[in-house]
Amino acid sequence: MAAPEIHRYVTDNGLRVVLAPDTTSPVVGVSVHYDVGFRSEPEGRTGFAHLFEHLMFQGSESLEKLAHFRHIQGSGGTFNGSTHPDYTDYFEVLPSAALERALFLEADRMRAPKLTEENLANQIDVVKEEIRLNVLNRPYGGFPWILLPPVLYDTFPNAHNGYGDFVDLEQASIEDCAEFFDTYYAPANAVLTVAGDLDIDYTKKLIDKHFGDVPARPAPRRRSFAEPLPTEDRHGTHQDPHAPLPALAVGYRMPDPINEIDGYLANLVLASVLADGDGSRLQQRLVHSDALVSDISAGAGLFGPFEARDPDTFAVTAIHPAEVNTQQVLDALDDELDILTTTPPDDEELAKVTARWTANLHAEHDRLVSRTLGYGSLELLYGQPELLFKLPERIGTVTADDVSAAAKALREGARAVLTVEPSTQEGAPQ
């Protein structure tokens, strides 16, 4: 689809606004991105950013609990929220006639969410159950996004478990919640995005009506999470009581996603050359030819592309039979990277990979919810919401030499190697 016109402005209380009209269907998307993710949560409060995301759905000083659900679903809409390394987002997609309702609801909880002991205790239990379901009682739970960072990184923001430790979650207090809200949930620390079937002037009037009186507070100083590169390979082991087979994750530091975007894009293409599709190099070598692994993947960005500021992680993960040892897999991986450092991909291989990236990005951007969230996150991280429609072209300019250079950088840098071992112990953590 053609790139739409994008309108950007800042309200008097500091809220950044992105408007992207598209009248092809009578639907509108609304999102709010707050510049706080789990890398910003304080030590001793692991999982707090995600816990607070849950609290934002528990009513406000003017609306009862579950009112947000009722109003959006009653309008025929959908909604959700998610916590990322460097931001937290909330969104609604609903008929364009209900735009004002979505704006009112987002402004209402930006103004004053309902922070009570009852809501906090209830959502701590909900998050703990989510962790049991998605991590503790699932094979390869938290692999690699929870398990790999503490091997590769040293500092608390980069290394800790963003889902949260039960002890930390249980010690969270209402005072913690109020301080977190006052610090990070200010209009000046947020981006409001409205995309879809909208009139610019009318939408601005609605935004002023509902967000204009949200009290202005200064945005917190953005912390840098930079830390020195590792100087030697690092190793860690995790016992998984539910894993049927051993697994392996290899983590590398990548170029700065924001300030070295071309190098970052080369890593995206490298990941696809290595492991995207049955014809990729690692699939052909480790799965089909050498039969060393049953599953292998590679990704630039531990949580996906364009999800975080620096530092970010290039990760290769594999599940392998018990009779195959870790070193065999590592040797094959290193060999394929070495080949790429001296012999760049040919034109056909590179064209296939970049065409797949371009097609996938365009397909994703066809969905209104993806466009809305993409505009908001790219405004927050890059200050460029229009980058959403420039990325396919920019990925298409990545050359074979760029991919070769990215592979060489991985080989020359120290890495983290995490092994997951099936446990002989019975039962699961409670």
Domain boundaries, the chain: 7-211, 234-422
Residue with tokens 């999102």: 31
Contact assessment for residue 272 and residue 398, using Cβ atoms and an 8 Å cutoff: no
92-122 pLDDT, tens digit each: 999 999 999 999 999 999 999 999 999 999 9
Q: Output the pLDDT for position 424.
A: 66
276 near 300, Cβ under 8 Å?
Answer: no
C-alpha neighbours within 13 Å on the C-beta side of residue 172: 35
Q: Which helix (H) or strand (E) holds 378?
A: helix 368-382
The runs of H, that is alpha helices, within 75-138 are 99-111, 117-131
The pTM of this model reads: 0.95
Burial of 265: CB neighbours in 10 Å, binned 0-12, 13-18, 19+: buried
pLDDT of residue 430: 41
pLDDT class of 3 with cuts at 50, 70, 90: low
Residue 426 confidence (pLDDT) above 50: no
Tell me what pLDDT residue 304 has.
87
- Residue 316 has phi, psi (to 5 degrees) of -115, 125
Which class is 7-211 in CATH? alpha beta
Report d(CA 210, CA 104) in Å as an integer: 6
Query: Are the folds of 7-211 and 234-422 the same?
Result: yes
For residue 291 the two structure tokens come to: 């039969």
Mean pLDDT score across all residues of the chain: 95
Q: What is the DSSP letter of 407?
A: H
pLDDT of residue 1: 53
- Length in residues, the chain: 430
DSSP designation for 220: P
Give the class (CATH, top level) of 234-422: alpha beta
How do residues 364-410 score in pLDDT, each as one tens digit? 888 999 999 999 999 999 999 999 999 999 999 999 999 999 999 99
Tokens representing residue 131 in the block: 């962790």
Q: For residue 154, list its beta bridge partners.
A: none
Read off the pLDDT of residues 150-181 as tens digits, 9 standing for 90 and up. Answer: 999 999 999 999 999 999 999 999 999 999 99
Antiparallel, parallel or unpaired: β 247-253 and 313-319? antiparallel
